[in-house]
Amino acid sequence: MSDTTTAGSLQEEVREYYRAKAAEAETSGACCSPDPQTFGPAAYDEIGPGTALLASLGCGNPSAVAELREGETVLDLGSGGGLDVILSARRVGPDGRVFGLDFLEEMLALAARNVADAEIDNVVLLKGTIESIPLPADTVDVIISNCVINLSLNKPAVFAEMARVLAPGGRLGISDVVAEDRLSPEERAERGGHSQCIAGALSVAEYKELLDAVGLKDAEVVFTQEAADGLHAAIIRAHKPVDGTAGAQECEPGGTCC
């Protein structure tokens, strides 16, 4: 089997897996995460039950990780059923805006219903891939993502796109599954499948190298809980310098840069 065939098979596997999860959330309202102690609703303690919460497939709460502020523009990569979009929209308030990006019509439809039920009007849902974000450069204050980047088969493209759409002074607040540096890609694959957020996980060193390669600075990767032997749910943060140099300070929303 060629690399192209393998990549195509994995992409279709991911699509079918999450298409089924969207249908499951619609029909049963059940938690559709592989391990509810590590993935899904367990990470959210500030809201009550609901379809959006029960449809969570992530490994953290990135809207809290990113410390969102009033008036900011936020992009959620792989917005799924819309939980993080809804929470982000509430955090940034009526003067802010949240883009939710997903590649599945079924997930976008689920998210649209959940956003409507939450009576949120500062959300824009977009169809597209995280490797080719359908937004102009330098337009987003904050990028969040919840256990989605590990699913990509072209991670350098994802990191390049994040750096492109972030405005100077913008930042990342991401939840993802990350491997300890001791594990090889083959060892990661032995511990779980690609669609289940394990086989495609980057190591700590790989995450930091990819962030640095696109000019995103002060990267930190903090493990939060074990997802499998040598793999962990983690918080990833970094920022885009204001003037292209490391250590530049961020701009306050609506303010001036220091």
Q: Residue 231: what are its φ and ψ, rounded to 5°?
A: -125, 145
**Per DSSP, what are the bridge partners of residue 175?**
146, 235
pLDDT band at 69 (very low <50, low <70, confident <90, very high): very high
Q: What's the pLDDT score for residue 57? A: 47
Reference 53, options 75, 31, 77; nearest CA is 31
Structure tokens at 127: 């169809």
Residues 140, 146, 147, 148: is their CA dihedral positive or negative? Answer: negative
pLDDT in tens, 96-121: 999 999 999 999 999 999 999 999 99
Q: What's the pLDDT score for residue 163? A: 98
In this prediction, residues 33-62 reach a mean pLDDT of 48
Which is more confidently placed, 2 or 257? 2
pLDDT in tens, 9-40: 766 765 676 666 656 655 443 333 445 444 44
Structure tokens at 15: 């699509």
pLDDT in tens, 129-181: 999 999 999 999 999 999 899 999 999 999 999 999 999 999 999 999 999 99
Q: What's the pLDDT score for residue 4? A: 47
Segment among 5-14, 186-195, 201-210 with least mean pLDDT: 5-14
DSSP the chain: --HHHHHHHHHHHHHHHHHHHHHHHHHH-----S-TTTSSGGG--SS---HHHHT---SS-HHHHTT--TT-EEEEES-TTSHHHHHHHHHH-TT-EEEEEES-HHHHHHHHHHHHHTT--SEEEEE-BTTB-SS-TT-EEEEEEES-GGG-S-HHHHHHHHHHHEEEEEEEEEEEEEE-TT--HHHHHHTS-TTTTSTTPEEHHHHHHHHHHTT-EEEEEEEEEEEETTEEEEEEEEE--SSSSTTPPPBPTTS-B-
pLDDT tops 70 at residue 206? yes
Query: Which residues make Cβ contacts (< 8 Å) with residue 65, sequence separation at least 6?
Result: 144, 173, 174, 175, 235, 237
Q: What's the pLDDT score for residue 195? A: 75
pLDDT in tens, 212-222: 999 999 999 99
HSE (side-chain half, CA atoms, 13 Å) at 138 = 6
Measured CA to CA, the distance from residue 90 to residue 63 in angstroms comes to 10
Query: Which residues make Cβ contacts (< 8 Å) with residue 117, sequence separation at least 6?
Result: 50, 51, 52
pLDDT band at 66 (very low <50, low <70, confident <90, very high): confident
Reference 44, options 78, 94, 82; nearest CA is 82
Which is more confidently placed, 4 or 127? 127
Q: What's the pLDDT score for residue 11? A: 65
Q: What's the pLDDT score for residue 194? A: 78
94, 122 Cβ separation under 8 angstroms: yes
Which is more confidently placed, 197 or 190? 190
pLDDT tops 50 at residue 250? no
Q: Give the rounded percent of residues in the chain with a pLDDT score beyond 90.
A: 62
172, 216 Cβ separation under 8 angstroms: yes
3-state secondary structure 162-180: HHHHEEEEEEEEEEEEEEC
